[in-house]
Amino acid sequence: METKHGSPPDLHMPQGTGTLTSDKGRVLGQFEVEGAQYIFVGNLTGFRQSFSIPNADVAYDSADQLHKQPENFEELPVEKDQIELRLKNGVAITGGFDMPFSDSEVKKGTIVGGGGKWLKL
């Protein structure tokens, strides 16, 4: 496994793990958080490529942030091999694509936005 370079993770933020997929801008995430199953449904703007992230992480301060009300993403650049989706309430979904994109598929400076909401099973 490769380690990501950049700022060290905040060791105080709890994390859950799961998967994230996107098909033409529709996003679906399935995560296990504190022993419970959560589904994230939403949409991406600015990035219509389909992708799959088999090992996605969700970081949060409190599981209470994973709520049903829709929450928008902060607009962040997407990279060829990974994505970070950060909700305005501080929850972050990150992970590496199972198949990295080419330069033509992800141009430098491609910004993703959108949003979504959580469902607890």
Contacts of 24 (CB under 8 A, 6+ apart): 48, 50
Domain boundaries, the chain: 15-120
Q: Which of 57, 11, 70, 13 is nearest to 31 (CA)?
A: 57
CB 92 within 8 A of CB 83: no
Pairing between β-strand 71-72 and β-strand 26-33 as defined by DSSP bridges: unpaired
pLDDT digits (tens, 9 = 90+) for 72-100: 999 999 999 999 999 999 999 999 999 99
Cβ atoms < 10 Å from Cβ of 73: 24
pLDDT greater than 50 at residue 7:
no
pLDDT at 1 over 60: no
17-56 confidence digits (pLDDT tens): 999 999 999 999 999 999 999 999 999 999 889 999 999 9
Architecture field, domain 15-120: Beta Barrel (2.40)
